[in-house]
Amino acid sequence: VADVFSEAADIVIVGSGPTGSTYARLLSELLPDARILMVEAGPIVADPPGLHVANIRDLGLRDAARIASQGPNRFAYDPVTPEEHALRLAGGPDTAMLRRPGLFLVGGGAIDGEGFAAAHAAANVGGMGSHWFGACPRPAESERIPFIDRAIMDGALAKAERLLRVSGDQFPNSPVAPRLEAVLGDLFNAGRSPERRVQPMPMALTRTADGVMRTGTDMILGDLLSKPSGRFELRPETVCRRIVMDGERAAGVELWSVATGAMSRVAAGVVVAAADSLHSPQLLFASGIRPDALGHYLNEHPQLSLYAELDGVEDHGERLQRGEVGVLADTAVAARTTSGVTWIPYDGDRFPFHVQITQIEPSSLPEGDRVIASRKPVVAVSFFLPSEPRYENHVAFSDSETDWCGRPKMNLRFRLSERDRERLALARETLQRICDALGRPLPGHKPRMPPDGSSLHYQGTIRMGERDDGGSVADRDSRVWGTANLYVAGNGVIPTETAGNPTLTSVALASLGARHIAAGWASR
Ligand SMILES: Cc1cc2nc3c(=O)[nH]c(=O)nc-3n(C[C@H](O)[C@H](O)[C@H](O)COP(=O)(O)OP(=O)(O)OC[C@H]3O[C@@H](n4cnc5c(N)ncnc54)[C@H](O)[C@@H]3O)c2cc1C
């Protein structure tokens, strides 16, 4: 196999999102002499590479960066129409969720069908990590991976929090948090351990003099790009079409240049597939690595949300007039962001949801609602629900048709289980209870449930397992079963049913994978 390669790297990382970047950063520290090549299908869309696009203050440049991240769809999506907006607020089918700036659709089928219609991906240096919101809750109870030692996982989560710059204390003067925490604490804190009580959401961002900086992969990579050592290379617009296997070893990768269409082959000592939860299994499939579980157990976080008026915040009107209501959910107002996110943590069967409450920028509301928002804060109460990891929910790949990068075409299938629907019914009741306690739902608004795939948290497709029994793709160190040197990364590795946002866990698992690669390096 060796003579077909035109160059060589010690480690090839496919995908430059938060998990690929974590491997790059940690392996460059653990193995300073190793040559690391990170290939990325999408282009560099910001300076420095990997910068979160919301940190681009010029709105025109920010829009351009989003469009450049949209893979095959390099054009501005149509804005949400008034009809779509009205239907959304009334709880109807939310077609606007099929056009999300910065992303492109990989799902398909009817919006209310079984095709995972709203599944999206990003193709840019930084991946979805240049577009994400940054909520980083720690997993708890059944969200945790039972076969990873608790202390080891806690250490990895702490490392992930450092890499992603997560903290929960960036908004000490939030105009709404004290009221939200008091009301929701009364409702839900009894019987919870201190770390699972209602609290500010840990967020991956840093406060600056003029607002907030969201964490992108530039921050994870540190000075890998700014102080070149000659050992690390980021190669954008380069698609890994196939991992070349030599028995149980990954011998290298086959690369396709988006710009020139040229193919090349790079020999590799280790390959890490960090190409997101749908494109990593696609890459394994294209490489002839097709364990039973590959692409299966697909699960996400069905969402349910409603806007509510918040009573009991006396100085809201004055703050609004002073221009002090800048909300985290609105990237256009980063410079005056004052309110963070309030979190009701998932707490096992006692509270099987993850809830985020964010203040809504009054100007983003329809005319009628703006009058209410001028008197009282309006908040979005958003539920993330678990969905059961089930074999039948899956992404399948074609042997004959290809996508925009010449990779096997995807076909997704997803349906909620009975248990998922029971939890959804309970979530509807709890959502109403929360809105009534905070104030009331905005008049005319109904709970909204975006189409399947909208969460952008796709899990299970390359899941890890305790043993090689056909129910998983990789071991606890993220190494693909039956291979010596092929690793997978991303939310797809998470094997458990979760309610909370997954990136912190995926970055933690990537840190364990990097440690495992480094430990085995000497014996190579
Ligand atoms: C709007 C938005 C809000 C979000 N909010 C949150 C949140 O609050 N909390 C949270 O935890 N998560 C959130 N997420 C999800 C979060 O961004 C992802 O969990 C995270 O980015 C996953 O990291 P990753 O490295 O596994 O994959 P990605 O970030 O998806 O990166 C994968 C990269 O691999 C590249 N790639 C794919 N195939 C190939 C190939 N064959 N060859 C070369 N490159 C390839 C892709 O182009 C992509 O750039 C959000 C996402 C979005 C878009």
Interstrand relation of 263-273 and 7-14 (parallel, antiparallel or unpaired): parallel
Which stretch of DSSP H or E encloses residue 397?
Answer: strand 394-402
Residue 264 DSSP symbol: E
Give the atom of ligand 1 at the shortest distance from the alpha carbon of 405: 41
For the chain, the residue count is 524
Tell me which of 53, 233, 503, 507 to substitute to probe ligand 1's pocket, judged by most ligand atoms within 8 Å of the beta carbon. 503
Asked if residue 131 has its Cβ within 6 Å of ligand 1, the reply is yes
Asked if residue 128 has its Cβ within 6 Å of ligand 1, the reply is yes
Gyration radius from the chain CA atoms: 22
Tell me which of 132, 330, 397, 488 to substitute to probe ligand 1's pocket, judged by most ligand atoms within 8 Å of the beta carbon. 132
Give the atom of ligand 1 at the shortest distance from the alpha carbon of 129: 21
Asked if residue 503 has its Cβ within 6 Å of ligand 1, the reply is yes
Give 129 Cα–ligand 1 centroid separation in angstroms: 5
b/e sequence 433-466, b meaning 16+ C-beta within 10 Å: ebbeebbebbeebebbbbbbbbbbbbbbbbbbbe
Residue 458's pLDDT is 98
Residue 68 CB coordination number (10 Å): 19
Asked if residue 253 has its Cβ within 6 Å of ligand 1, the reply is no
Of 388, 383, 299, which is closest to residue 344 (Cα–Cα)?
A: 383
List residues bridging with 250 in a β-sheet: 245
Residue 3's pLDDT is 59
Give the atom of ligand 1 at the shortest distance from the alpha carbon of 21: 25
Q: So which residues are the catalytic ones?
A: 457
pTM for this prediction: 0.98
Of 398, 446, 412, which is closest to residue 277 (Cα–Cα)?
A: 412
Cα angle 267, 270, 275; round to 5: 95
Give 293 Cα–ligand 1 centroid separation in angstroms: 21
Mean pLDDT per 10-residue interval, the chain, length 524 residues = 82 98 98 97 98 95 98 96 88 92 94 94 98 97 97 98 96 94 98 97 92 96 92 98 97 97 97 98 98 98 97 92 88 86 96 97 87 94 98 98 97 97 97 98 94 97 98 98 98 98 98 97 78
| Helices (H), ranges, 330-482 | 367-375, 418-438
Asked if residue 454 has its Cβ within 6 Å of ligand 1, the reply is no
The region that residue 2 occupies, defined by phi over 0 for left and psi between -120 and 50 for alpha, beta otherwise, is alpha
Q: List CB contacts of 478: < 8 A, sequence separation 6 or more.
A: 464, 487, 488, 489, 493, 509, 510, 512, 513, 516
Give 121 Cα–ligand 1 centroid separation in angstroms: 7
Residue 522's pLDDT is 79
Residue 504: exposed, middle, or buried by beta-carbon count in 10 A (0-12, 13-18, 19+)? buried
Asked if residue 176 has its Cβ within 6 Å of ligand 1, the reply is no
Give the atom of ligand 1 at the shortest distance from the alpha carbon of 123: 47
Asked if residue 124 has its Cβ within 6 Å of ligand 1, the reply is yes
Residue 304's pLDDT is 97
> How far is residue 145's CA from residue 389's CA, in Å, rounded to a whole number?
13
